[in-house]
Chain A
Amino acid sequence: MEYLINLGILFCIYGVLALSLNMVVGMTGLLSLGHAAFFGIGAYATAIVMTGFGINFFTSLLIGAVINIAVAYIVGRILSRFSGGYYAIVSAGLAIIVYSLLLNWKDLTNGPLGIFGIPKPSISGLAIDSNAAFLGLAFIILVAIFVLYRWIDKSSYGRGLKAIRQDEELATVMGYPVEQFKNIIFLLSAVVAGIAGALFASYIAFIDPSTFQIHESIFLFTIIIIGGLASSVGSIVGALILLSLPEVLRFVGLPYETAAQLQQIIYGLALILIMVYRPRGLFGKYRM
């Protein structure tokens, strides 16, 4: 049961991350490969203030949000000069810069040794110290972000973003302040990714920079492409599939000497098959 609860918690965290990425990639067409950075900033903000200053989890969320807003604001303005593949490359640069900072700013982050002993959250003195309770918290946050995503999706703002995704000039002619709309969704998405980071830090109770590298951004991209771009349900389903598939494979009776390698091969094949038969992803509204 603990095993399933653990998977459930990870699923909630990556579900939140996938929703945050779909806000900028799916809805708005901004190919951000930098979201591992916001994930990492949120995680480290929580880790540092909780272990170093005894600040509670929910306040640490706010602190992480403020930092992510500042970083996303600056980066968003630089990124707005680029589009398409160039946007992806420059945003990947962000992920690399933040990773390097986390790795080298030893006084703040403890460098490669990481920060351990990150406490669990507590609500008015009541500690959320069982995994089941943590799952409850993570699930509530997932639902809240899901609702937020749907809110944006259904609003006139969301419609404007989708117009911007395809044709920025036309959106401008229709009266939409393209830069402002893009910046706001980017900031919002960064904050949401940071919230996932905070949950991750508090749950694993140990973080180090190696989790927040570009491969994490790519993993998130895989989730939303498999699940479906611009789809809230797709974000969730994508996270579910990509997290549970390797776990299910642990139970398939593969010969012990090559089990791990075979698991990787099967996992890769499964992803390829999904893309061949559903290029839009399982719930995708459109193809990249």
Chain B
Amino acid sequence: MKGIEITHLAKNFGGLRAVDDLSVSIATGKTTGLIGPNGSGKTTLMNLISGLYKPDCGTITIDDKTFDFIEPIKLRELRIARTFQDGRLINQLSVDDNLLLAIAETGLLKSLHQFKNQKMMVRVDATLEKIGLTAHRYKLAEELSYGQRKLLELGRALIQDADIYLLDEPFSGLFAKRVEHVLGLISELKQQNKTVVIIEHNMGLIKQLSDHIIVLDHGSLLASGDPDTVLQNKSVQQAYLGV
């Protein structure tokens, strides 16, 4: 299993310091909740780890490999899977194909010679079962409801059987029954000792899932530690909970 070490990471946009000299550890095999007010740099941090942004300075260490910047194309190799705040799917591909995207060959020659095969479909079937979308497998992603799309995106991360999962607000906009479902899926990841980082605003869910919490504010580390301690921290309460 892998852990993530962030060292003096910084990212500026124009004059705005989205991530400001951040040093923090994300524990191996544990679930870390990443919280903070809007604009505190949570998604930016996730984008930096998944290579969508290039850091201005600092390093990211995955396991024992240190990077000045991570190339997004290398995520699969690094066994990192992520979901997005806005539920990014390929709308004109079917549910099946959206899942297959995550496990199919990506090398030119190999991908030209690969078609849907038994091995791949077994994994797809299992994931569809997990996320409860078997009945909708042939529908185009754009035909799914919001909740189904979130599940599909999570499924696309799950099917990869990654070591690190970066989940950006996996519960947002879901109604109770679906929240239960997603909770169950993430708990399974915990049981498998995967390294999971979740951005979430619902404190109840954060408390339930997290072994560890990191609080960001204005791009800097405000607090980090076990849930009970962090959530009772006065400055955390002031900045985030408006108390």
Whether A associates with B in a native complex is yes
Q: Which A residues are within 8 Å of any B CB, using their own CB?
A: 151-152, 154-157, 159-160, 162-163, 165-167, 169-177, 180-181, 184, 285-286
B90:A155 contact, CB within 8 angstroms: no
B101:A159 contact, CB within 8 angstroms: yes
* Interchain residue pairs with CB less than 8 A apart (6): A152-B112, A169-B52, A172-B72, A173-B72, A175-B73, A177-B73
Is there a chain A Cβ closer than 8 Å to B232's Cβ?
no
Given contacts A152-B112, A155-B112, A156-B115, is CB(A170)–CB(B73) below 8 Å? no
Given contacts A154-B115, A162-B90, is CB(A181)–CB(B73) below 8 Å? no
Within 90-108 of B, Cβ neighbours of A (below 8 Å) are at: 90-93, 97, 100-102, 104-106, 108
In the complex, what residue of chain A is closest to B88 when comparing beta carbons?
A: A170
Residues of B close to A167: CB separation below 8 A: 88, 90
Residues of A close to B64: CB separation below 8 A: none
Known: A156-B114, A174-B75, A177-B73. 11 other contacts (CB 8 A): A155-B115, A156-B111, A159-B104, A162-B92, A167-B88, A167-B90, A171-B101, A173-B52, A174-B101, A175-B74, A176-B73
- For B108, give its contact among A169, A173, A180 (CB under 8 Å): A180
A163:B90 contact, CB within 8 angstroms: yes
Closest Cβ of chain A: how far from B90's Cβ, in Å?
A: 5
What 9 A-B pairs come out closest when comparing CB atoms?
A: A156-B104, A175-B76, A157-B111, A156-B111, A156-B114, A175-B106, A286-B92, A157-B112, A172-B72
Closest Cβ of chain A: how far from B83's Cβ, in Å?
A: 10
- For A155, give its contact among B51, B82, B113 (CB under 8 Å): B113
Q: Which B residues are within 8 Å of any A CB, using their own CB?
A: 50-52, 72-77, 82, 88, 90-93, 97, 100-102, 104-106, 108, 110-116
B90:A166 contact, CB within 8 angstroms: yes
A162:B104 contact, CB within 8 angstroms: no
Given contacts A157-B108, A175-B106, is CB(A163)–CB(B52) below 8 Å? no
- For B102, give its contact among A151, A174, A180, A184 (CB under 8 Å): A174
In the complex, what residue of chain A is closest to B105 when comparing beta carbons?
A: A156
Say what secondary structure dominates the interface of chain A: helix
In the complex, what residue of chain A is closest to B73 when comparing beta carbons?
A: A172
CA distance A176 to B106 in the complex (A): 5
In the complex, what residue of chain B is closest to A285 when comparing beta carbons?
A: B92
Residues of B close to A181: CB separation below 8 A: 108
B104:A160 contact, CB within 8 angstroms: yes
Residues of A close to B90: CB separation below 8 A: 162-163, 166-167, 170
In the complex, what residue of chain A is closest to B75 when comparing beta carbons?
A: A173
Residues of A close to B105: CB separation below 8 A: 156
A159:B108 contact, CB within 8 angstroms: no
CA distance A181 to B110 in the complex (A): 12
In the complex, what residue of chain A is closest to B110 when comparing beta carbons?
A: A156
Residues of A close to B76: CB separation below 8 A: 174-175
A184:B108 contact, CB within 8 angstroms: yes
CA distance A175 to B73 in the complex (A): 4
Residues of B close to A166: CB separation below 8 A: 90-92
B93:A159 contact, CB within 8 angstroms: yes
CA distance A154 to B111 in the complex (A): 10
Closest Cβ of chain B: how far from A256's Cβ, in Å?
A: 48
Closest Cβ of chain B: how far from A77's Cβ, in Å?
A: 16
Given contacts A175-B75, A175-B76, is CB(A160)–CB(B111) below 8 Å? yes
Residues of A close to B111: CB separation below 8 A: 155-157, 160
CA distance A159 to B75 in the complex (A): 19
Given contacts A156-B115, A167-B88, is CB(A177)–CB(B108) below 8 Å? yes
Residues of A close to B93: CB separation below 8 A: 159, 162-163
Closest Cβ of chain B: how far from A266's Cβ, in Å?
A: 33
B112:A159 contact, CB within 8 angstroms: no
CA distance A172 to B101 in the complex (A): 11
